């Protein structure tokens, strides 16, 4: 079965409005490119108790969840510790993470024309970024080599939480690597399409029987209804449509349009979008 995909965004800066979240739209895009979809997203500030509770739910769900942010080594970074707490395990310096972090420190020293001093206080402190929950696996970071990590859900069934930095330039290629390396068998190569129309002067409740009949009659097709009360161009209206496998959509779309005509609905522009 195709996994359920979730997303966790960690950071006070998102909830305070200091920074706008870019991870959710990009994750939706990365999943959609592989015929997958995001089922839910959670936002949590830099509060260890809340992060731990959020991660406990994620691990218990058995879903595939991406967690962005809070895996650094500054005082406001709590995600690594909270992940270990949520799993009931300790933290340990991951050998591969240590190797990569030391390699990164050597690269930086070389770039600056300075000697590499592994025992210098700040270099020793940087190794904290490789302190992962026991049993974690590394996620390669193509930007600066400092890895993220993955932890399997205790209950098995393929669930896992994949932890990446909050920086988009690092997080997004790391999410792609996880998808392409660990979940290619779940990619949906069947083209998906969405076909909709603007409906004026109708109530969702009155259209619900038609929507239910379309889903009942066309397996794999989903009906959606997006009402708007103050659209700058169309005013009050409903965007009503169907989405699903491209080969199944024409018949469902025809039935939906016929049903709307029988209802006497006033129809506006039609829209087609490849998912």
**Mean residue pLDDT across the chain:** 94
pLDDT at 192: 81
**Per-residue model confidence (pLDDT) at position 23:** 98
For residue 225, pLDDT beyond 70: yes
- pLDDT at position 35, please? 87
Where are the domains positioned within the chain? 5-186, 192-274
For the domain made up of 192-274, give the CATH fold: Alpha-Beta Plaits (3.30.70)
C-alpha distances out from residue 90 to 93, 134, 137, 149, Å: 10, 6, 14, 15
This prediction's pTM: 0.84
| Mean pLDDT confidence for 217-237 | 93
Closest CA to 13 of 40, 44, 51: 44
State how far the Cα of 36 lies from the Cα of 28, in Å rounded to an integer. 8
At residue 71, the pLDDT reads: 97
The tens digit of pLDDT for each residue in 85-121 reads 999 999 999 999 999 999 999 999 999 999 999 999 9
Q: What is the pLDDT of residues 28-68, one digit of tens each?
A: 999 988 989 999 999 999 999 999 999 999 999 999 999 99
Nearest in space to 265 (alpha carbons), one of 214, 194, 202, 222: 202
Q: How much of the chain, in percent, has pLDDT values that exceed 90?
A: 87
> Hey, what CATH topology would domain 5-186 get?
Molybdenum Cofactor Biosythetic Enzyme; Chain A (3.40.980)
Q: Given this model, what pLDDT does residue 181 score? A: 97
Q: Give the per-residue pLDDT at 156.
A: 65
Residue-wise pLDDT for 169-192, tens only, equals 999 999 999 999 999 999 977 778
Name the residue with tokens 């490119």. 33
């Amino acid at each position: 079965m195709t996994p359920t995909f979730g997303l966790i965004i960690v950071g006070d800066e998102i909830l305070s409005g200091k920074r706008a979240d870019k991870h959710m739209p990009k994750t939706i895009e990365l999943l959609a490119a592989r015929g997958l979809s995001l089922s839910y997203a959670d936002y949590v500030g830099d509060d260890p108790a809340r992060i731990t509770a959020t991660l406990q739910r994620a691990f218990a769900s058995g879903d595939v969840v991406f967690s962005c942010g809070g895996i650094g080594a500054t005082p406001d970074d709590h995600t690594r510790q909270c992940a270990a707490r949520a799993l009931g395990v300790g933290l340990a310096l991951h050998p591969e993470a240590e190797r990569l972090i030391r390699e990164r420190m050597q690269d930086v020293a070389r770039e600056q024309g300075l000697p590499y001093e592994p025992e210098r206080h700040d270099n020793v402190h940087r190794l904290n970024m490789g302190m992962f929950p026991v049993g974690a696996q590394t996620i390669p970071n193509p930007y600066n080599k400092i890895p993220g990590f993955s932890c399997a859900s205790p209950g098995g069934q393929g669930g896992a939480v994949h932890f990446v930095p909050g920086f988009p330039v690092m997080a997004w290629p790391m999410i792609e690597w996880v998808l392409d390396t660990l979940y290619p068998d779940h990619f949906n190569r069947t083209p998906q399409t969405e076909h909709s129309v603007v409906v004026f002067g109708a109530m969702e409740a009155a259209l619900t029987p038609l929507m239910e009949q379309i889903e009942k009659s066309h397996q794999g097709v989903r009906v959606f209804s997006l009402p708007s009360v103050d659209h700058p161009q169309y005013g009050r209206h409903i965007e009503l449509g169907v989405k699903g496998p491209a080969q199944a959509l024409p018949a469902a779309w025809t039935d939906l349009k016929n049903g709307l005509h029988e209802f006497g609905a006033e129809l506006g522009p039609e829209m087609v979008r490849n998912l």
